[in-house]
């Protein structure tokens, strides 16, 4: 029998853990579900400092030591992308529940292994991003399923920003531009998760990808002026085929310095759904709106299907990234499969991996996973 609150360890004491929108400020807001009792980071002084700041009683210099010495039920894994699979393997192998940042891994073989390991150990596994439990995405999924805009013809999904080197990133952003990372895994994952969460699993992918600039110069922050050699593609555009002549275009790039308009546009035979940012309000862009034929007799127009001043805003604005942890704990408590499942994350990973293959070969690539 599971005892609450679950005792959590956190792996990684950087910005994603500690910033106002990070895991640690939010996870303190549901103490009946989860209590953070340990933190580990290879920069041990940082682990100790963050532990003192957030009242975490145990600090460790490694994941191995935390798993060995701390009495924890789950781990929040917020390591850099190239370390996701190896650290997740250790955590699941130790029989701990897992919340992990995106993507689930960098190869399909790793994702398959991790899903099988979680099943064998009987633990629950939640993967970022949290978009599909936020209310405007939930509503869009329900509207599409109900046929509110008729048959979906295609979607446009904006998933990118200008890259960590374009802003005042507080740590050295070099690794974002190196092999094994890059904007497809870092940012494209959001849009791919969004559109597959709304429309369902895709069947094929075709993509273009490349490096726009071989050297990026950090513009702001403590590493301003540093020149970064770009070894991973920084500009990927992909098209998904969902079958039945339903398509979607998604970007995964560090070249969107600014944009106006919806994050997602879904065009159906009887109307259109526009979605804003999943997380924060944007000036002049509703969280969700729908264009319908004959919204009144002989009148076509845009309407907001519901008021989104409630759960949508409350979940994200209150808990920020910790909504992932809350979702995992509630799934365990209620005995249900998480919406933010490892299987969905594996499908998203397959799309990203096969996008790279498609860009190299010039071929549309069949997808084999589902969720």
What is the Cβ-side half-sphere exposure of residue 49, based on CA atoms within 13 angstroms?
10
17-32 mean pLDDT: 95
Whether the pLDDT of residue 165 is over 80: the answer is yes
Q: Tell me how far apart the alpha carbons of residues 57 and 92 are, in angstroms, rounded to a whole number.
A: 23
63, pLDDT greater than 90: yes
Is 286 in the same domain as 333? no
In the structure, what pLDDT confidence band is assigned to residue 306 with cuts at 50, 70 and 90?
low
The burial of 5, by beta-carbon neighbours within 10 Å (0-12 exposed, 13-18 middle, 19 or more buried), is given as: middle
- Tell me: do 116 and 11 sit in the same domain: yes
Band (pLDDT 50/70/90 cuts) for residue 282 is: confident
DSSP string, 210-274: E-S-SEEE--SSTTTT-EEE--S--EEEEEEE-STT-EEEEEEES--S---S-SEEEEETTEEEE
Domain that holds residue 166: 132-307+348-366
* Residues 239 and 217 both lie in one domain: yes
Could you tell me the pTM of the whole model? 0.94
Residue 357: inside a domain: yes
Strands 152-157 and 247-253: parallel
More confident residue, 97 or 316: 97
Residue 313 lies in a domain: no
Whether residue 54 has a cis bond before it, omega within 30° of 0 = no
Q: Give yes or no: residues 167 and 217 share one domain.
A: yes
**Are 162 and 235 within one domain?**
yes
For residues 254 and 285, state if they share a domain.
Answer: yes
For residues 117 and 136, state if they share a domain.
no
For residue 254, the domain's CATH number is 3.30.360.10
CA 259 to chain centre: 20
| 253 lies in the same domain as 298 | yes
314 domain-assigned = no
Total of domains in the chain: 2
Residues 283 and 157 in one domain: yes
Residue 211 lies in a domain: yes
Split at pLDDT 50, 70, 90, the class of 296 is confident
Supply the CATH number for residue 49's domain.
3.40.50.720
Question: For tokens 């070969």, what's the residue?
Answer: 361
More confident residue, 247 or 305: 247
pLDDT digits (tens, 9 = 90+) for 192-249: 999 999 999 999 999 999 999 999 999 999 999 999 999 999 999 999 999 999 999 9
Is residue 78 domain-shared with residue 12, that is, in the same domain?
A: yes
- Is the CB of residue 134 less than 8 Å from the CB of residue 316? yes
Taking the C-alpha atoms of 30, 34, 37 and 42 in order, what is their torsion angle to the nearest 10 degrees? -100
Is residue 1 a part of any domain in this protein?
A: no
Q: What is the mean pLDDT of residues 276-284?
A: 77
Confidence of residue 312 (pLDDT cuts 50, 70, 90): very low
Going by DSSP bridges, is the β-strand pair 215-217/227-229 parallel, antiparallel, or unpaired?
Answer: antiparallel
Question: Does residue 197 fall inside a structural domain?
Answer: yes
The answer to whether 176 touches 182, Cβ cutoff 8 Å, is: yes
Question: Do both 262 and 146 map to the same domain?
Answer: yes
Residue 312 within any structural domain of the chain:
no
Does some domain include residue 52? Answer: yes
Q: What is the pLDDT of residues 44-57, one digit of tens each?
A: 999 999 999 999 99
Domain shared by 154 and 120, yes or no: no
């Amino acid at each position: 029998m599971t005892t609450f609150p679950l005792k959590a360890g956190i792996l990684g004491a950087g910005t994603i853990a500690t910033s106002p929108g990070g895991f640690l400020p939010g996870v303190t807001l549901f103490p009946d579900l989860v209590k953070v009792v340990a933190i580990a980071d290879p920069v041990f002084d940082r682990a100790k400092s963050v532990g003192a700041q957030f009242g975490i009683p145990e600090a460790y210099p490694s994941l191995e030591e935390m798993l060995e010495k701390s009495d924890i039920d789950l781990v929040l894994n917020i390591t850099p992308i190239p370390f996701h699979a190896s650290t997740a393997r250790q955590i699941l192998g130790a029989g701990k529940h897992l919340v992990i940042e995106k993507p689930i891994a960098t190869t399909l073989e790793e994702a398959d292994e991790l899903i099988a390991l979680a099943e064998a150990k009987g633990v629950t596994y939640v993967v970022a991003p949290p978009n599909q439990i936020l209310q405007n995405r939930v509503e869009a999924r329900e509207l599409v399923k109900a046929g509110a805009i008729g048959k979906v013809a295609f979607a446009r999904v904006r998933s990118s920003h200008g890259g960590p080197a374009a802003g005042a990133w507080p740590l050295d952003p070099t690794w974002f531009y190196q092999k094994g990372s890059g904007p497809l895994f870092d940012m494209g994952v959001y849009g791919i998760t969004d559109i597959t969460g709304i429309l369902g699993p895709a069947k094929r992918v075709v993509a273009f990808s490349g490096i726009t600039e071989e050297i990026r110069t950090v513009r702001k922050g403590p590493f301003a002026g540093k020149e970064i050699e770009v070894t991973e593609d920084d500009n990927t555009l992909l098209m998904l085929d969902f079958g039945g002549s339903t398509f979607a275009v998604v970007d995964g790039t560090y070249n969107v310095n600014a944009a106006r308009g919806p994050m997602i546009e879904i065009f159906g035979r009887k109307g259109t759904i526009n979605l804003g940012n999943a997380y924060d309000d944007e000036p002049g862009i509703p969280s969700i709106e729908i264009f319908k034929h004959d919204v009144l007799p002989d009148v076509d127009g845009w309407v907001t299907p519901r008021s989104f001043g409630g759960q949508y805003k409350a979940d994200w604005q209150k808990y920020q990234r910790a909504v992932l942890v809350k979702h995992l704990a509630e799934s365990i408590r209620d005995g249900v499969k998480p919406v933010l499942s490892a299987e969905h994350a594996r499908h998203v990973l397959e799309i990203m991996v096969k996008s790279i293959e498609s860009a190299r070969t010039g071929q549309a690539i069949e997808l084999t996973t589902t969720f």
